[in-house]
Structure 1
Amino acid sequence: MNILLLEDNKKLNQTITKRLKLKGYKIDAYLDGNEAYNNITEGYSCFILDINVPNVDGIKILKKIREFYEEVPVIIISASTELEVIKQSYDFGCNDYLKKPFFIDELEIKVEKLCKIKNDFIFFDDNSYFDYKSSIVVLEGVEQRLTKKERLLMNLFLTKRNQVLSYDTIQNYVWEGSFASLESIRSLIRRLRKVLSNKYIETVVDTGYIFKTT
């Protein structure tokens, strides 16, 4: 399981990273909020976020996560005891709030309870699935590795399956806020359709696309 850790205290960051790695988790640890913000779409199963960090605070990152991932667990770790900060954290979708200072064992227990996922496979029919960990689509036994943008688009489709996704939503997520022309989006859709043998992705005229599964 991949975990994103954001903690600007270098010593605490290293301690948490070491302890969780001993548990077998893969950890990407950041000291800077902007770096964490730019990497939240890299296929994480759990987020551990400090609030008061340089450049981009943990609350803003939490809001960004919840735009696309409704169910991925987020644990806030913070020295703040202000009721408004704690309330904001839960209002924007954190799953648990751990006040500093805390025992690392407490964090381990929360990760074990909240973040353990059964597997990294996301099935979209009986014979086909997306391997979330390795970015491979398996379609009736045939494997196809996805590029970064294809993977991001697949993540988005499977998070919002059977929902209409606008061009703007796809642009914001896959191009991570940068501009993408309509032709660039259509080209990416064509590439993913080729991988999926032209199944699943339907065009919604003048709006966007929908990933249809049963």
Structure 2
Amino acid sequence: MKNHIKILLAEDEISLGTIIKDSLESRDFKVTFCENGENALEEFKKSDFDALVFDVMMPKKDGFTLAKEIRLLNKNIPILFLSAKTQTQDIVEGFKIGCNDYIKKPFSMEELIVRIIALIERKSNLTLEKKHHIGTYVFDTDSQVLSHEKVTYKLTHKEATLLEFLSQNKGEIIDRSTILNTLWKSDDFFSGRSLDVFITKLRKKLILDQSIEIINLRGRGYKLIC
């Protein structure tokens, strides 16, 4: 397990959040601590994390809502819920939303740490799809190569990141501002023009398979169909 595992922690009980943060950092974790769901979502968009630890009941944006929004951006990052809500239906709801683990309050710090490490190791050991099949193309995220039986493209980092984002969300509308804030860290005019250029580049590279489309839903965002 690597040092300085990056954790995003959202917990509205400041005293508990501080205890969790201090305990994790004493074991070489790096923790970003937010007191509500809205701030946590903003932090998630700005940085890369290895795992997310969210309280369920929070002001401004509760943990379930926060997790739903994050799952639109990243389907693979481990999410662990902390909650005093112990009814079976609450736990089931958490897993339906896409969490990977659920700890009932009160809990021991050792249990929390063991569970976080287990989630990250499980994610590392699963052969995360490094190759995405997009129609008759194969996209290797490690080498940033998009290949077809007739041609092979070595993508730029930005092209590869954008194509990975689209392929992880095939068939789903991805909000334009979400793409810009996630990949460009800004949704201003110039970032928007840059996104349009990269979408055009990807369309040209995918033209050999007529079943593939990157649709621009005006005023909403983009959808990859294949």
Q: Give the TM-score taking structure 2 as reference length.
A: 0.64
Question: In structure 2, do the counterparts of structure 1 residues 80 and 39 end up closer, same or farther at CA, with 3 Å as the change threshold?
Answer: same
Identity of aligned residues (%): 26
Residue aligning to 1:137: none
Q: Is the 8 A contact 2:75 2:168 kept in 1?
A: no
Asked which structure has the greater CA Rg, the reply is 2
Q: Which amino acid aligns with 1:204?
A: E
Q: Which runs of 5+ in 1 are unaligned?
A: 130-139
Q: Where does residue 74 of structure 1 map in the other structure?
A: 79
1:174 aligned residue (173, 179, 203): 179
1:16 corresponds, among 11, 14, 20, to: 20
Number of residue pairs aligned between Structure 1 and Structure 2: 189
SS in 1 for 2:33: strand
CA distance 1:19–1:165, shift in 2 (3 Å)? same
Whose helix fraction is larger, Structure 1's or Structure 2's? 2
Q: 1:5 aligns with which of 6, 9, 17?
A: 9
2:213 corresponds in structure 1 to: 204
Amino acid in structure 1 at the alignment position of 2:164: L
Structure-2 separation of matches of 1:23 and 1:160: 36
Aligned to 2:98: 93
Equivalent-residue separation in structure 2 for 1:34 and 1:7 (angstroms) = 11
Residue 67 of structure 2 corresponds to which residue in structure 1?
62
Question: Cα 1:5–1:183, aligned 2, differ >3 Å: closer, same or farther?
Answer: closer
SS of 1:40's partner is helix
Alignment pair present for 1:188 and 2:195: yes
Amino acid at match of 1:12: L
1:48-78 superposed Cα distances (whole Å, 9 cap, x missing partner): 0001111110010011111222221110001
- Rounded Cα–Cα distance in structure 1 between residues aligned with 2:42 and 2:27: 26
C-alpha distance 21-91 of structure 1, shift in aligned 2 (>3 A):
same
Deviating above 4 A after TM superposition, structure 1's stretches of 4 or more consecutive aligned residues are 122-127, 162-166, 180-184, 191-194, 198-203
